[in-house]
């Protein structure tokens, strides 16, 4: 009996030993395998990749990087890279502070010197570069066919569609509903109601009810200036009057500037702080800490966690106060191609893909924003519903309009900064008059 067991055990041990030795031999054989037989050890790989230089304020996420949430724009660019076999090379610029050149200034410099192929441009830059003929006409692209009319209008310069946005950026007032409820304040419709709200807040110890930065205070101005221009009919005629000099921009702008002046004078806005604050960075902390009940921001900020996408307070986004009630201000950053850029053909193809309905759907669903394509509609967070309702009702003003000879978005921003810096409303209006005169060739 024991003998049989012994024999079995020995047989098993021998099996193990044999298996181990076989494994060791295999390992040795694998490790001693010979390499290739080429004498020239260098294997050349021709770099045949096509490159499109893209200039934007954003870094591109490394596709191989782990745990990095890719932005909506990245996703669409990746689509283009895959479809076209090109590499979109990002060149970026971020101003360190307000003393640095702005992104827009750098954009202008780079586009004028044909430094890049593809640019993400703000409305004023689009207007400027379009007027200078530095941007390609994109109207022939397939992706341009389904654009909303407002988008087409805002980006057409001298009959050329010079930029296509990936989202329609709607600016609004971001309000702390809890604080409004606490002081039994209705959401303001008109400038007067807005001032009353600010007064009540201030009386209740909130010294500066409005958080502001050096970029977006102009939205108050646009809402009051162009509420009637865009929403009471004869818009084209009114714009034509402005372009011909029959009507003065300063007349449209004055109520808005006076309103801003009032806000500054009453201390509802800290002008000094606003003048050196970057967008969101300057006011976000106070708003989230419920020290400031009112800030202004764009639609996407309500979805972005680094902005106001995740707050402990009850957020509500409404239009800016105007004579016609809450008024969303629409602006569009768009993709444009340098007219003399080195890889403009590939850049055009890239835009055609990133502005396609498929890409725009991805973009809109990722960021939950209003798409420039009339074929793409997505839901929004509840806080944005009042703003969305107004836009869907067709009630809004454009922050930039390529049909106006005087660029609006950039100029107004700069003149508002003058106001923040201490200029009077009259001086600001004079600046508008000067710009209009210059556009008319009277300067």
Partner 1 sequence: MKQRSNRRKDRSGRALLLSIVLIFCVLGAIVYTVARKASQEMSSSAIQNLSESLDLLQCTIEAILNNEAEFQGVIAQELARTEDPEGYILTHAGNQMMTKLSLVLTGRTEGVSNTGEPFTAEGLDFSAGGTVKGMPVSRSYLNHMGTWAYTIKCPVEREGQEIGTLYVEYIYDAIDRSLPQEGFYNKQATLYIMDAESERFVLKPKGMGQRSAGHLDLNDFYRANDIRDLEIRAEVEQCLEEGRNALFYHDIRSTNALNYMWSVNRGTIFLVGYVPVDAIQQEGRTVNQNIIIVVTAMLIAFSLCVLLYYLSWRQQELLRREQEQERRLHDQQLTHALQAAQIASSSKTTFLSNMSHDIRTPMNAVLGFTTLLARDAEDPAKVREYTKKIMASGQHLLSLINDILDVSKIESGKVVLNFEKFALNDVIASVDAIIQPMAKAKGQEFRVEVTGVRHEYLVGDETRIDQILINLLSNAVKYTPEGGKIWLRIVGLKQRSSQYEHIRIEIEDTGYGMTQEFLQTIFDAFTRAENSTTNKVQGTGLGMAITKNIVELMGGTIDVSSEVDQGSLFQVDLELRIQEDQIDRAFWEQRGISRILAVDKDPEVLEDMRALIEETGPHLDTASAVAEAVALIQGGAEHQLVLLDWETAVSDSPQSAGALRAALPSTVPVLLLAEHDAKGTEAALQAGCSGLLTKPFFVSACREKIQELWADTKESSRTPEKNDTLARLHLLAAEDNEINAEILAALLAIEGADCEIVENGLLAVERFQQAGPGTFDAVLLDVQMPVMNGHDAARAIRSLPREEAGRIPIIAMTANAFAEDEKAALDAGMDAHVSKPLDVELLKKVIRRCMERRIGT
Interaction site with partner 1 (CB under 8 A): 2, 6, 9, 13, 16-17, 20, 24, 27, 31, 47, 51, 53, 59-62, 65, 68-69, 71, 87-94, 96, 100-101, 105-113, 115
Of 216, 352, 203, the C-alpha closest to 278 is: 216
Which is nearer to partner 1, 112 or 152 (by Cβ)?
112
Which is nearer to partner 1, 65 or 441 (by Cβ)?
65
Q: What is the DSSP string of 323-353?
A: TTSSB-EEE--EEEEBTT-TTHHHHHHHHHH
Which is nearer to partner 1, 31 or 159 (by Cβ)?
31
Q: How many CB atoms lie within 10 A of CB 101?
A: 13
Provide the minimum distance between the beta carbon of 113 and partner 1 in the complex, in angstroms, as a whole number: 4
Which is nearer to partner 1, 52 or 383 (by Cβ)?
52
Provide the minimum distance between the beta carbon of 179 and partner 1 in the complex, in angstroms, as a whole number: 32
Q: How far, CA to CA in Å, does 290 sit from each of 71, 171, 304, 306, 314?
A: 29, 21, 18, 17, 10
* DSSP code, position 111: H
Which is nearer to partner 1, 37 or 47 (by Cβ)?
47
Provide the minimum distance between the beta carbon of 417 and partner 1 in the complex, in angstroms, as a whole number: 20
Rounded Cα gap, residues 73 and 65, in angstroms: 16
CB 32 within 8 A of CB 26: no
Which is nearer to partner 1, 22 or 204 (by Cβ)?
22
Provide the minimum distance between the beta carbon of 381 and partner 1 in the complex, in angstroms, as a whole number: 23
Q: How many CB atoms lie within 10 A of CB 26?
A: 10
Rounded Cα gap, residues 357 and 157, in angstroms: 23
Which is nearer to partner 1, 88 or 295 (by Cβ)?
88
The residue assigned the tokens 């707050």 is 311
Rounded Cα gap, residues 427 and 118, in angstroms: 37
Q: How far, CA to CA in Å, does 105 sit from each of 94, 112, 125, 293, 316?
A: 11, 11, 8, 33, 34
Which is nearer to partner 1, 256 or 282 (by Cβ)?
282
CB 404 within 8 A of CB 247: no
Provide the minimum distance between the beta carbon of 69 and partner 1 in the complex, in angstroms, as a whole number: 8
Provide the minimum distance between the beta carbon of 96 and partner 1 in the complex, in angstroms, as a whole number: 6
Q: Where are the alpha helices (DSSP H) in 149-248?
A: 149-154, 177-182, 191-203, 218-231, 235-244
Provide the minimum distance between the beta carbon of 308 and partner 1 in the complex, in angstroms, as a whole number: 19
**Those residues with Cβ within 8 angstroms of residue 388's Cβ, 6 or more apart along the chain or in another chain:** 370, 380
Provide the minimum distance between the beta carbon of 53 and partner 1 in the complex, in angstroms, as a whole number: 8
Rounded Cα gap, residues 102 and 93, in angstroms: 9
Provide the minimum distance between the beta carbon of 216 and partner 1 in the complex, in angstroms, as a whole number: 22
Which is nearer to partner 1, 73 or 397 (by Cβ)?
73
Provide the minimum distance between the beta carbon of 348 and partner 1 in the complex, in angstroms, as a whole number: 20
Provide the minimum distance between the beta carbon of 20 and partner 1 in the complex, in angstroms, as a whole number: 6
**Those residues with Cβ within 8 angstroms of residue 40's Cβ, 6 or more apart along the chain or in another chain:** none
Which is nearer to partner 1, 106 or 376 (by Cβ)?
106
CB 80 within 8 A of CB 349: yes
Which is nearer to partner 1, 100 or 246 (by Cβ)?
100
- Strand ranges (E), 322-443: 329-331, 334-337, 397-398
CB 111 within 8 A of CB 142: no
Burial of 40 (0-12, 13-18, 19+ CB in 10 A): exposed
Phi, psi of 362, deg, nearest 5: -60, -45
């Amino acid at each position: 009996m024991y003998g049989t067991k012994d024999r079995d055990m020995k047989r098993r041990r021998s099996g193990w030993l044999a298996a181990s030795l076989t494994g060791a031999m295999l390992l040795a054989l694998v490790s001693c395998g010979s390499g290739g037989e080429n004498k020239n050890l260098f294997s050349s790989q021709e770099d045949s990749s096509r490159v499109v230089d893209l200039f934007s304020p954003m870094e591109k996420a490394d596709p191989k990087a782990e745990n990095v949430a890719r932005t909506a724009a990245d996703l669409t660019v990746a689509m283009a890279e895959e479809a076209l076999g090109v590499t979109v090379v990002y060149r970026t610029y971020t101003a360190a502070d307000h003393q640095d050149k702005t992104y827009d200034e750098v954009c202008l410099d780079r586009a004028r010197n044909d430094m890049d192929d593809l640019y993400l441009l703000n409305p004023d830059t689009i207007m400027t570069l379009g007027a200078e003929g530095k941007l390609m006409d994109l109207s022939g692209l397939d992706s341009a066919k389904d654009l909303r009319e407002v988008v087409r209008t805002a980006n057409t310069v001298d009959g050329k569609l010079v930029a296509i946005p990936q989202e329609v950026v709607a600016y609004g007032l971001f309000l702390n509903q809890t604080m409004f409820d606490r002081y039994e304040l209705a959401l303001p419709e008109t400038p007067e109601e807005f001032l009353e709200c600010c007064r009540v807040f201030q009386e209740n110890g909130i010294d500066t009810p409005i958080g502001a930065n050096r970029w977006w205070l102009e939205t108050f101005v646009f809402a009051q200036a162009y509420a009637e221009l865009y929403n009471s009919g004869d818009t084209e005629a009114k714009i034509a009057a402005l372009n011909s000099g029959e009507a003065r921009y300063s007349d449209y702008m004055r109520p808005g500037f006076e309103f801003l002046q009032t806000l500054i004078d009453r201390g509802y806005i800290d002008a000094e702080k606003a003048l050196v604050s970057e967008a969101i960075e300057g006011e976000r902390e106070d708003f989230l800490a419920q020290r400031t009940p009112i800030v202004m921001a764009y639609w996407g900020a309500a979805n972005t966690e680094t902005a106001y996408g995740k707050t402990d307070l009850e957020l509500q986004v409404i239009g800016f106060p105007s004579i016609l009630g809450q008024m969303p201000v629409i602006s569009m950053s768009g993709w444009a191609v340098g007219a003399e850029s080195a890889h403009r053909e590939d850049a055009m193809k890239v835009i055609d893909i990133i502005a396609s309905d498929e890409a725009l759907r991805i973009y809109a669903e990722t960021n939950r924003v209003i798409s420039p394509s009339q074929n793409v509609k997505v839901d929004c967070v509840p806080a944005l519903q009042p703003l969305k309702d107004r836009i869907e009702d067709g009630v809004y003003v454009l922050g930039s309009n390529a049909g106006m000879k005087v660029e609006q978005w950039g100029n107004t921003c700069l003149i508002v900064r003058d106001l923040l810096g201490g200029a009077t409303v009259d001086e600001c209006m004079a600046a508008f008059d000067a710009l209009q005169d210059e556009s008319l060739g009277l300067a």
